[in-house]
Amino acid sequence: MTKAHENKVRDLTEGRPMRLIISFAAPLLFGFLFQQLYSFVDTALVGRFLGADKLAAVGATGSVNFLVLGFCNGFCSGFAIPVAQAFGAKDHKALKQSVAQAVYLCAGLSLGMAALTGALCPWMLRVMDTPEAILPGAVSYIRIIFLTIPLTVLYSMAGGILRSLGDSRTPVVFLVAASLINIALDILFILVFRMDVAGAAVATAISQGVSGLGCVIVIVKRYPLLRLSRDDWRFRPALAGKLLGTGVPMGLQFSITAIGSVILQTAVNGLGVSAVAAIATASKISMCLVCVFDALATTMATFAGQNMGAGKISRIREGIAACAKIGVVYSLAAFALSLAAAQELIGLFLDTAKEAEVTALAVRFLHINTAFYVPLLFIYILRLAIQGMGYTRVAMIAGVFEMGARIAVALVLVPALGFTGACLANPAAWVMADVFLFPCCRRILFRLQARAGEPDKGVSANAAENRVLPREPRYPRARAVHLPGGR
């Protein structure tokens, strides 16, 4: 491994948590912003050059896209948790074996998902009551996205492995390169080749493949720690089962959350094309604004995973506090920006003069959602901290709370309040998830600190030990981790 890459592999079990979190999250934030940049270009080109109907067609696929790709990205993130824990425990043999099993599982699951969802996407959109006027464009777009799921999973898997070792920069380098490629291909396919919304989907798929392949090349050529022997590549059913026990609940967490979004999207579809286009546009802006939360959450997963492997539970609590301080300040700033410049932000995607109705609806959606960014922040950092500690099944329950809230809004508030009811769906889901996550995370930390000999201030070790928790992972009891074999 070159010296440059040795510096990129980072041990998060030593040093000041705030400084480590900022330095780890900064390149992630840069990458997420670039990722949103090419998503912005997709939306802006479709909205400005193909029209609001085509924008609505792409927007109508958002929830089903989240349902499927959320599951795929979730299980990739789950497979990376044992890698981070093994790295924190300095167990390189277990690390390599976990990586090999993750490759097998990601390949099998992604190919299966591509075949299944590629065939079922027209049916899925019809079940969601997608308006007939935009259905052909929606099917054209989402079918390409689904058939190229293996390319998306390639980047998620390789990038997740690198981040587990503390390298948050290499995945970002290739993500930035892919973003620039995507922008160029968007212009080529949509404006030159006239491929309609399918061009945006093809551009996204190609860019995902480029970023994933780049990460794999770096892993193979520059990281001896990740060079696997023939024995490492031997399929281990027991370890694969443990990885599935971590990855599948994380994937299902996203899918469960997305089920509520699908039902909500069905209700929004009944409000007309303008409502669909407004939420699609405002959601694009919101996705950019929450990139800070994405970076903090991804950092928290690696930070919690490595420190769990090292048995340093008190540092996980310190990491959560550091992320919360950064995130709350940012949430207030994002809300202020929304109040001051929502219409200007909407204008990045739509001709606000010609699309006055869509613009007004999008501004209302953005104002209401950004007002609740603090609850959203804690969903990101608490859930990923819990997952990093290995309680993926517990974290999945938060998705059930989100799903229930969105379904309730879709069935009650949307019929009663119309578009304003739809605007309240996300805030309701975020608050309900926090109702579960706050006490759950607190109890887990109490229990683990007691077992590690680090009782929380004001709480005796015996009291913490006697708290009732959901089923616990079988790894890191105190200062050491034993892998493979842990979940």
Confidence of residue 7 (pLDDT cuts 50, 70, 90): very low
Per-residue pLDDT reduced to its tens digit, 95-116 = 999 999 999 999 999 999 999 9
Is residue 86 a part of any domain in this protein? yes
Distance CA 20, CA 111 (A): 37
User: Is residue 395 situated within a structural domain?
Assistant: yes
The residue assigned the tokens 């994933």 is: 212
The HSE-up count of residue 324 (CA atoms within 13 Å, CB side) is 13
pLDDT at 463 over 70: no
Return mean pLDDT, the chain: 85
Q: Is the pLDDT of residue 206 over 80?
A: yes
Cβ-Cβ contacts under 8 Å for 6 (sequence gap 6 or more): none
Q: What is the pLDDT of residue 402?
A: 87
What is the pLDDT at residue 262? Answer: 80
What's the total number of domains in the chain?
1
Mean pLDDT of 293-308: 93
Tens digit of each residue's pLDDT (9 = 90 or more) over 111-126: 999 999 999 999 999 9
Write out pLDDT tens, residues 224-282. 888 899 999 999 999 999 899 888 888 887 777 777 778 888 888 888 888 888 888 88
The answer to whether position 487 is within a domain reads no
The model's pLDDT over 29-56, given as tens digits with 9 standing for 90+, comes to 988 887 777 666 667 778 778 887 887 8
Per-residue pLDDT, averaged over 155-182, amounts to 90
Per the structure, the complete domain to which residue 452 belongs is given by: 7-465
pLDDT for 398: 86
The predicted model scores a pTM of 0.76
pLDDT in the model for residue 473 = 47
329 located within any domain: yes
Is there a domain that residue 477 lies in?
Answer: no
| Residue 482 covered by a domain | no
Residue 481 pLDDT grade (very low, low, confident, very high; cuts 50, 70, 90): very low
Indicate whether 472 belongs to any domain.
no
Residue 108, in any domain of the structure? yes
Residue 63 CA to residue 269 CA, distance in Å, equals 12
